[in-house]
Amino acid sequence: MFRPLNKPVEHWVDQRIWLIGASSGIGAALARKLLCAGARVALSARDESGLQTVADAHGHAMVLPLDVLDAAAWQAAHDAICTRWNDVDMLIYCVADYLPESVWEMEPMQAHRTIAVNLSCLYDGLAQVLPRMLRRGQGSIALIASVAGYMGLPRATVYGPTKAALINLAEILYADLHARGLNVFLINPGFVATRLTAKNAFSMPALQSPEDASRAIMQGMQQGDFEIHFPKGFTFLMKFIQVLPYRWRFALLSHYLETA
Ligand SMILES: NC(=O)c1ccc[n+]([C@@H]2O[C@H](COP(=O)([O-])OP(=O)(O)OC[C@H]3O[C@@H](n4cnc5c(N)ncnc54)[C@H](OP(=O)(O)O)[C@@H]3O)[C@@H](O)[C@H]2O)c1
């Protein structure tokens, strides 16, 4: 009953990890930690120089620029990893487009783009790595969602629904893939100080560093957790608010926003 939901990651040495969103923030910090732990990490994002900075400091990194919106580029990137490393053991999707906005400020074209980057493009990545993982009966998929996906939060008009969908998708992936030998990790960070949250005009409770976040992610994987959420004080509070009746939840959120 209390066995971990995933097979714990027992060692990182020579794990072949494809980290999308590795040029900055949580992804860059996580890539550095994984490389230090001995993993081989293929670093993807659009900003090649950001990826190179991460790669330069460590061995076993492959710089693989990728715009997730470019459907054809996914296959070329996957082929490049398989040519060099033969396969991918873990796909980490750590990509996001975020604009804090109320619904009346929303631009439909930008909304479509955010939904594509945060959610739809992940299906291109899954289509690349899953056939081989399923054949081998092993591999891991890790999705970085957010506590913003737990419930509707003001000004997360487009970002919030994409994160809720990622949480839902991780649950579906677990249901489909666990029995076939694969791990599925759902990662729900609270607030982390990155260029993404630098856009927030409100004060962010329990703000963590990208290094703290990457430590929590690796620890959760080593424990075989399905949902890896942090920092616990804040995320448990969010989980409590989520299960409240709507009348109380809305009142609490609007009180918090007035005082924030
Ligand atoms: N910061 C937080 O408080 C927080 C909280 C919960 C969840 N998260 C999640 O954590 C993940 C990382 O976010 P972060 O806070 O570290 O923000 P960040 O520093 O802005 O990182 C976002 C990453 O996504 C990449 N990216 C964006 N558009 C892309 C595209 N079209 N193609 C390829 N890569 C693209 C960026 O690289 P390029 O610009 O170089 O392409 C960057 O590496 C996201 O999924 C975010 O939703 C963050």
Q: Is residue 257 scored above 90 in pLDDT?
A: no
What's the chain's length in residues?
260
Banded model confidence at residue 239, pLDDT cuts 50, 70, 90: very high
d(CA 103, CA 101): 6
Q: Is residue 240 scored above 80 in pLDDT?
A: yes
Mean pLDDT (whole number) for 226-234: 97
| Pocket of ligand 1 contains residue 196 by CB under 6 Å | yes
Q: Is residue 258 scored above 70 in pLDDT?
A: no
Backbone angles phi, psi at 11, to 5 degrees: -150, 155
| Closest of 31, 9, 182 to residue 94, by C-alpha | 31
Q: Is residue 255 scored above 90 in pLDDT?
A: no
Q: What is the 3-state secondary structure (H, E, C) of 146-206?
A: CHHHCCCCCCECCHHHHHHHHHHHHHHHHHHHHHHCCEEEEEEECCECCCCHHHCCCCCCC
Banded model confidence at residue 254, pLDDT cuts 50, 70, 90: confident
The amino acid at residue 4 is P
Q: Is residue 76 scored above 70 in pLDDT?
A: yes
Banded model confidence at residue 122, pLDDT cuts 50, 70, 90: very high
**CA of residue 247 to ligand 1 center, whole Å:** 33
The residue contributing the CA closest to ligand 1 atom 23 is 21
Cut 0.95: pTM above it: yes
| Pocket of ligand 1 contains residue 68 by CB under 6 Å | yes
| Pocket of ligand 1 contains residue 77 by CB under 6 Å | no
| Pocket of ligand 1 contains residue 156 by CB under 6 Å | no
Q: Assess whether the previous peptide bond of 231 is cis (omega < 30° from 0).
A: yes
Decide which of 255 and 194 is more confident.
194
Mean pLDDT (whole number) for 106-125: 98
Banded model confidence at residue 2, pLDDT cuts 50, 70, 90: confident
**CA of residue 240 to ligand 1 center, whole Å:** 27
Contact (Cβ atoms closer than 8 angstroms) between residue 213 and residue 29? yes
pLDDT of residue 202: 84
**CA of residue 76 to ligand 1 center, whole Å:** 22
| Pocket of ligand 1 contains residue 69 by CB under 6 Å | yes
- What three-state secondary structure class fits 119? helix
Tokens of 180: 């076939």
pLDDT of residue 201: 86
| Pocket of ligand 1 contains residue 66 by CB under 6 Å | yes
| Pocket of ligand 1 contains residue 113 by CB under 6 Å | no
Matching residue, tokens 């100080």: 193
For residue 189, the ligand 1 atom closest to its alpha carbon is: 6
Tokens of 140: 């891991």
Mean pLDDT (whole number) for 28-43: 97
133-143 tens-digit pLDDT = 999 999 999 99
162-195 tens-digit pLDDT = 999 999 999 999 999 999 999 999 999 999 999 9
d(CA 139, CA 131): 11
Contact (Cβ atoms closer than 8 angstroms) between residue 191 and residue 197? yes
d(CA 241, CA 218): 27
199-211 tens-digit pLDDT = 998 888 899 999 9
47-63 tens-digit pLDDT = 999 999 999 987 789 99
Contact (Cβ atoms closer than 8 angstroms) between residue 53 and residue 241? no
Matching residue, tokens 């027992």: 10
pLDDT of residue 259: 62
Banded model confidence at residue 260, pLDDT cuts 50, 70, 90: low
pLDDT of residue 57: 81
| Pocket of ligand 1 contains residue 27 by CB under 6 Å | yes
Phi-psi region at 139: left, alpha or beta (left = phi > 0; alpha = psi -120 to 50): left
pLDDT of residue 206: 92
Mean pLDDT (whole number) for 100-110: 96
The residue contributing the CA closest to ligand 1 atom 25 is 21
| Pocket of ligand 1 contains residue 122 by CB under 6 Å | no
Which domains, ranges and CATH numbers included, belong to the chain?
16-259 (3.40.50.720)
